[in-house]
């Protein structure tokens, strides 16, 4: 496949880069972190979305290299922002199923943290609920990552049927409410009920809960009313380049 060959050279050609989306406290508007989202601008093909090239990277075994580049770049950027006067509280990085299921992520993450000098608690790894449920050794892998001091978030929560007994055993700190449940807030009672149930579940398990895909003020107000004070979505900012994050959030202490 042509795209596969181009993707394999994309890192060396500096065509891969990260965009950063703010995560905020709803009541104060304060920045609590960013999620790093990988991007590919191919000289030959133009802009290709991660929904296309991440699965390709997974199928072709390139995801290991790509995923490690993303981790390294995200941590490097945190240190660079610091030098530019912006202390970003934390950065969230997505792990793909192929990275997670083979094990050994703790060693890779340790190496990246050491080489960049970023403190472990400032990195949060996002693993989807379905990845966790479909990986036999997930509990051990999550424990290994927890042991090195990085944060863990369950991404797309509510879509993956995890049992509460299992969830209780996992040393994770954060649930991210899938954006499909946020979309219909104040339009559909069922999705409102699911969002509220996830907020309650997180509270009862002492986890922080962040809502994804918040686009409207009424969604934010609903979340706040039901005890969820963390949000990410177009209402607060689209994924943008590191320089734009600095311009908007730098120099605010
Ligand atoms: O970036 P966008 O907003 O279009 O994301 C589309 C999908 O790609 C999301 O499911 C997101 O989690 C995934 N994605 C974005 N960046 C990364 C990454 O660095 N690694 C992995 N594994 N998935 C990512
Ligand atoms: O799967 P994950 O949650 O990691 O992916 C984040 C994806 O969600 C990215 O594709 C990002 O561009 C997208 N996204 C972020 N905020 C919003 C939003 O407010 N609305 C919609 N529709 N998509 C969003
Ligand atoms: Mn994510
Ligand atoms: Na998600």
- For 149-186, how does the pLDDT look when each residue is reduced to its tens digit (9 = 90+)? 999 999 999 888 778 888 889 999 999 999 999 998 98
The DSSP call for residue 121 is G
The DSSP call for residue 164 is H
Angle between helices 50-60 and 2-10 (to 10 degrees): 90
Per-residue model confidence (pLDDT) at position 190: 77
CA 9 / ligand 3 centre spacing (Å): 25
Are the beta carbons of 16 and 234 closer than 8 angstroms? no
CATH of domain 2-248: 3.20.20.450
CA 178 / ligand 2 centre spacing (Å): 9
CA 115 / ligand 4 centre spacing (Å): 28
pLDDT at 64 over 60: yes
Q: Is the distance from the beta carbon of residue 233 to the nearest atom of ligand 2 less than 6 Å?
A: yes
Residue of the CA atom closest to atom 11 of ligand 2: 239
Q: Is the distance from the beta carbon of residue 155 to the nearest atom of ligand 2 less than 6 Å?
A: yes
Residue 252: pLDDT band with limits 50, 70, 90: low
pLDDT at 253 over 60: no
CA 36 / ligand 1 centre spacing (Å): 8
Residue of the CA atom closest to atom 14 of ligand 2: 213
Q: Minimal CA–CA distance to 124: which of 89, 99, 157, 83? A: 89
Per-residue model confidence (pLDDT) at position 166: 86
- Which tokens sit at 52? 């296309």
Cα–Cα distance between 67 and 44 in angstroms, integer? 22
pLDDT tens digits for range 18-58:
999 999 999 999 999 999 999 999 999 999 999 999 999 99
CA 155 to ligand 2: nearest atom: 3
CA 179 / ligand 4 centre spacing (Å): 7
What is the pLDDT averaged over residues 202-207? 94
- Residue environment code for 172-204, b if the CB has 16+ CB neighbours within 10 A, otherwise e: bbbbbbbbebbbebeeeeebbebbbebbebbee
- Best of 51, 66, 94, 131 for a ligand 1 pocket test (most atoms within 8 Å of beta carbon): 94
Cα–Cα distance between 236 and 249 in angstroms, integer? 12
**In the chain, pLDDT over 90 holds for what percent of residues?**
88
Q: Is the distance from the beta carbon of residue 234 to the nearest atom of ligand 2 less than 6 Å?
A: yes
Residues facing residue 240 across a β-bridge: 20
Residue of the CA atom closest to atom 12 of ligand 2: 239
Residues facing residue 41 across a β-bridge: 47
What is the pLDDT averaged over residues 119-140? 94
């Amino acid at each position: 496949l042509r795209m596969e060959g181009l993707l394999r050279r994309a890192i060396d050609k500096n065509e891969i880069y990260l965009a950063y989306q703010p995560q905020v406290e709803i009541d104060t508007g304060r920045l609590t972190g960013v999620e790093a989202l990988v991007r590919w601008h191919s000289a030959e093909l133009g802009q290709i979305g991660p929904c296309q090239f991440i699965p390709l990277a997974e199928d072709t075994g390139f995801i290991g290299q790509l995923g490690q580049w993303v981790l390294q770049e995200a941590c490097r950027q945190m240190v660079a922002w610091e030098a530019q006067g912006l202390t970003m509280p934390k950065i969230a990085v997505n792990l793909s199923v192929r990275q997670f299921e083979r094990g050994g992520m703790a060693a890779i993450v340790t190496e990246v943290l050491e080489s960049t000098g970023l403190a472990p608690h400032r990195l949060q790894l996002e693993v989807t609920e379905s990845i966790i449920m479909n990986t036999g050794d997930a509990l051990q892998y999550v424990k290994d990552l927890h042991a090195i001091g990085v944060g863990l978030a369950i991404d797309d929560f509510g879509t993956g049927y995890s049992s509460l007994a299992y969830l209780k055993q996992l040393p994770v700190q954060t649930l991210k409410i899938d954006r499909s449940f946020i979309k219909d807030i104040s339009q559909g009672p069922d999705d409102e009920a699911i969002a509220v149930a996830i907020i309650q579940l997180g509270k009862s398990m002492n986890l922080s809960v962040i809502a994804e895909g918040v686009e409207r003020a009424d969604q934010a107000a609903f979340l706040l009313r039901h005890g969820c004070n963390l949000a990410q979505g177009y209402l607060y900012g689209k994924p943008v380049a590191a320089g734009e994050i600095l311009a908007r959030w730098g120099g605010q202490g």
